Structure 1
């Protein structure tokens, strides 16, 4: 027994010596790396929880997905355009069908793109309200089409009618357009929009930044959504989108497998809001977004909210 144990011990020692000889240079090289660098290499980047691969295979897959999205949208748009034309005498039914089109098409397009998706706060997703959403990617449009409740209309610039397929269906679905050529005309357009919302018991969806962020960081908010809230008395439901700017960057035709998060926040009551405090309301809602967005999507300076009063 002792001879067997000592033999086993000697064999193990020879094996360890052999392994140290083979791996010695690597061990010494690792020891030369400062500990902070080792930790940095081991710790994944929290802002990019996916492999951002620009190789030709991921790019080809992305192109196939985008083309498939476009073809799928052409098919669903054609089908619902026929439905909308048949419902021309019934505006409220066109709004409803427009929402059904959005639910079907938006979900289909997100399935084709294949991004991991997490949705929170859905208990606040069926309110009659003004839904607002940060905007940094074409994917935001797909999500909003899918996730806003039936009976919701969008507000867009009047030029949207010239967007191929989508613009024409937007008008057929009886969504609202505003003339942004000057502030007074825009306010008049919004008042007409509010009258339509009150008359038909509708909800609204608005991008308060007024345009799409180039880098995913939150932009200053325009005044329009506050005017709408004061005129209609509807609560505001913030929708926080994260990760869409990584999944489909502005100006890019490469869709990446970045995880996306959608979070509905509790409604903000506006029935006591007054026109003399518009800038205060803008800052309050903007600050809510700053608190809920990840660091990579926060504005570089929160003082940018002051600039919103110029718009």
Structure 2
């Protein structure tokens, strides 16, 4: 036997549901059953996923609010917040194009000067530095980033300058700020960069073959001898490559070997904000403030060859201490 009242109620509920289903579908709403019955008289009907109140004259549908999935929101601290609008990207591209054209112009002019100075290697180094001062400063002016320089009193030492590296902007800054009489060390493939690579070679800067450790060591020895003989400074990125995330990478040993052979002090240059301004692999330059901080020279007169690893760690720790949390090594 069955309860006739319940059955009549069920028939009514089915008819009412068919009507309501059409209305709610048209309005874009969804009816779902509640997670649990609210009292013992409610009976779950799997046909339309609602609860029927058997004691009432009609159906009682328990509605669940429609959940609208929201897109992921950026955290308030997101370093790129507000910089990805189409206007910002458009201006960024214009600046990059102007930088490229300007750099090609100055590179062509100084390449001609270098050709005239072929018999005089030191003068080519000097002219290469002047080219860097002019071009680097011009490029940073075009990009428009606010720049703060700290510890400038340490920027004219005869030393081995080292810097963290997370952005193309780092190169522009070091071209501009390193003293006259400084040579750089880069991978040998730099010669294939149009105009700039050829000027790099003409300016008597140094190249190493990173794929051949033996040849790289010999190149380092030659570089050290040339630095001492001509009373030059060196500039090198101890990480050996750009950090994509901006976090400090482990240091290679090359700068320590150069210090041991030249007995030049090491001047750390700490760059902050460049990874936000122009990320590796991106063509979007942001107007992020940048800080260039020269730290006091680290004396290397008493360094010994049996403690290379210790010296690498010592200098790396100096960077960890002076970088903001967002640029310290990842755990």
> Normalised by the size of structure 1, how large is the TM-score?
0.81
Secondary structure at the aligned position of 1:266 is classed as coil
Residue equivalent to 2:135: 105
Deviation at 1:54, TM superposition (A): 1.1
Runs of 4+ in 1 over 6 A off after TM superposition: none
Residue equivalent to 1:6: none
Matched, 1:257 2:287: yes
For 2:250, which of 220, 223, 232 is the aligned residue?
220
Secondary structure at the aligned position of 2:319 is classed as helix
Backbone CA RMSD of aligned residues: 1.5
Q: Distance in 2 between matches of 1:119 and 1:44?
A: 28
Matched, 1:289 2:289: no
Q: 1:208 touches 1:222 (CA, 8 Å); kept in 2?
A: yes
In structure 1, stretches of 5+ residues that fail to align are 1-40, 302-311
In structure 2, stretches of 5+ residues that fail to align are 1-73
For 1:146, which of 159, 163, 176 is the aligned residue?
176
For 2:263, which of 233, 239, 249 is the aligned residue?
233
Q: Which of these two proteins has the greater Rg computed from alpha carbons?
A: 2
Residue equivalent to 1:187: 217
Secondary structure at the aligned position of 2:251 is classed as coil
Q: 1:240 touches 1:293 (CA, 8 Å); kept in 2?
A: yes
Q: Distance in 2 between matches of 1:44 and 1:185?
A: 49
Deviation at 1:53, TM superposition (A): 1.9
Q: Distance in 1 between matches of 2:86 and 2:278?
A: 17
Matched, 1:162 2:218: no
Q: Distance in 1 between matches of 2:117 and 2:157?
A: 26
Instruction: Please list, as runs of the form range in 1=range in 2, the aligned pairs for 1:9-48 lying within 5 A after superposition.
Output: 45=77, 48=79
Q: Distance in 1 between matches of 2:235 and 2:82?
A: 32
The count of aligned residue pairs is: 258
Q: Distance in 2 between matches of 1:51 and 1:117?
A: 20
Matched, 1:196 2:248: no
Deviation at 1:44, TM superposition (A): 6.5
Secondary structure at the aligned position of 2:291 is classed as strand
Q: Distance in 2 between matches of 1:177 and 1:194?
A: 13
Q: 1:52 touches 1:256 (CA, 8 Å); kept in 2?
A: no
Residue equivalent to 2:145: 115
Residue equivalent to 1:25: none
Secondary structure at the aligned position of 1:222 is classed as coil
Matched, 1:125 2:125: no
Q: Distance in 1 between matches of 2:188 and 2:128?
A: 18
Higher helix share: 1
Q: Distance in 1 between matches of 2:259 and 2:195?
A: 30
Q: Distance in 2 between matches of 1:64 and 1:113?
A: 10
Secondary structure at the aligned position of 2:293 is classed as strand
